[in-house]
Amino acid sequence: MKDGVKDIGFSVPYDIAVARTLRQTSRQEREAALEQACYNTELIPQELVYVDLQTDSAVSALSASQVAAMIAGGSPEAATEMAPEGHGGMDALSSRFREVFGFPFVLPCTQGRAAERIWMKLNVREGTVVPGNMLFPSTRYHIESNRAKVVDVIADKAYDLFSDEPFKGNLDVRKLENVVKEQGAEKVSCIYVELCVNSCGGHPVSLANLRQVRSLADAHKIPLFLDACRILENSYFIQQREPGYHDRSIREIVHETCSLADGLTMSALKDFLVPIGGFIGTRDQKSYQKASFQQFLDGGQPPAVALASLALSLGEIFSSPTYVRSRVAQVDYLWQRLGETVPVLRPAAGHGVFIDAKSFLPEMPPEHHPAEALAAFIYAISGVRATKGPPLTQSQRQRGVDLVRLAVPARRYLQGHMDDAAQAVSYAFAHRREIRGLEQVEKPGRSKYDPPLFAPIER
């Protein structure tokens, strides 16, 4: 603007082209839905949820270009499973991926779990260990399914829920070195680093720490891999919190982060705003060829429309820094609304707000399932769906950690929705003595892998 007036900031870098009506339910309807779902908020039908903070995976709003690509149905050329290098959609996506992330070989997958399944088959040996930093449950599963052991070497600061330590996702390099010495380098299949560690509250890993891990890995000739599904958030926090990076772009930080790794697996369903898709990135051609053949055997090639959507998303996200900033700012807004009264984990994360259920309900014993009870109460009073946090590591369970997560889908909700969610959680905190504990119940014929069912404990 002219006349010495500063430019007015653009707080939201998109507008809303499509709207979906949200049903306004009554308290009676919500309590009936809770009873029908056996008080597990994950089982409540979508149409009975007002603001859905269950997950930010595969539920973010698509761009107009992505919707157009999906309607068009992608390229009519042959499927990617045979000679993927000759597929136009694969070639365009791979070229963009190499440009952004720096890995010369890329294999698009249907999702992150598919990428992990393939990558672990090739890189995790039976009888070995894989050190990591509170790895995501699916990552741990795929490592253990290859008869290897995950060793948690996250820094102890990750267990301090309320400190303002900026990089609680960091690995403890001394712990890591001890594992290598005790096991022997030949018994360490790889080192796996999750960016913005979900299990401890979405906290990032610093580049300084990653460089230390890289140096140790090089010294012992151990591969270093990334779980990069939240690399944008991690890069944003490096830009904001790590000395020397404030003037670096998100794209530059993403590239530098990847330069410290031998490979990565990634779900694109979080940071990259798609309903399907993931990646394997590697510097080793033989590993790429083996992964490509394993994918062919597994039948996990993404369709052409998914390739087009992923390519568009990568282009749109990195064409401007405003998306990542606005996405984290919305989560921070909800965190700020709650932080003065509610026991939320500190510092703020980039994809959700985490509540310490143990501090929220200090008089409720663990066997009464405080996190599930809190989530059920929040839904009953508001229609806002929160859920128990991600599965905990063994060390977290031993410490009695119990979290509720409010995961915020990208580009989906307005500030008013965040205000409503904050009001619901604040009301629950003010009336926490009204929250009844839950007991787990069993029903005949259910598998142990099915979501747990609960019933209120009578006072």
CA distance 448 to 446: 7
d(CA 52, CA 33): 15
Q: Is 352 helix (H, G, I), strand (E, B) or coil?
A: strand
User: Please, are residues 300 and 110 in contact by the beta-carbon 8 Å criterion?
Assistant: yes
Tokens coding 268: 């694109």
Q: Which residue has the tokens 């929250």?
A: 435
Region 27-56+322-456: CATH code: 3.90.1150.10
For residue 261, give Cα distances in angstroms to 20, 94, 223, 327: 41, 18, 8, 26
Cα torsion 380, 385, 391, 395: sign: negative
Please give the mean pLDDT across all residues of the chain.
92
Q: What pLDDT band is residue 217 in, cutting at 50, 70 and 90?
A: very high
Average pLDDT over residues 199-228: 98
Domain ranges of the chain: 27-56+322-456, 65-318
Residue pair 219/252 in contact by the 8 Å Cβ criterion: no
Q: How far apart are CA 119 and CA 138, in angstroms?
A: 12
Backbone angles phi, psi at 321, to 5 degrees: -80, -5
pLDDT of residue 448: 84
User: Which helix H or strand E contains 404, and what residues bound it?
Assistant: strand 403-407
Q: What is the pLDDT at residue 14?
A: 82
| Confidence (pLDDT) at 422 | 98
pLDDT bin (cut points 50, 70, 90) of residue 1 is: very low
pLDDT at 245: 98
pLDDT of residue 81: 54
Q: Do the domains 27-56+322-456 and 65-318 sit in the same CATH topology, yes or no?
A: no
Q: What's the rounded mean pLDDT across residues 99-126?
A: 95
Cis peptide before 347 (omega within 30 of 0): yes
In this prediction, residues 334-344 reach a mean pLDDT of 96
281 by DSSP, 3-state: which?
A: strand
The tens digit of pLDDT for each residue in 296-318 reads 988 878 888 888 889 899 989 98
Out of 72-86, 139-153, 196-210, least confident range? 72-86
Residue with tokens 């703020």: 348
CATH code for residues 65-318:
3.40.640.10
Band (pLDDT 50/70/90 cuts) for residue 445 is confident
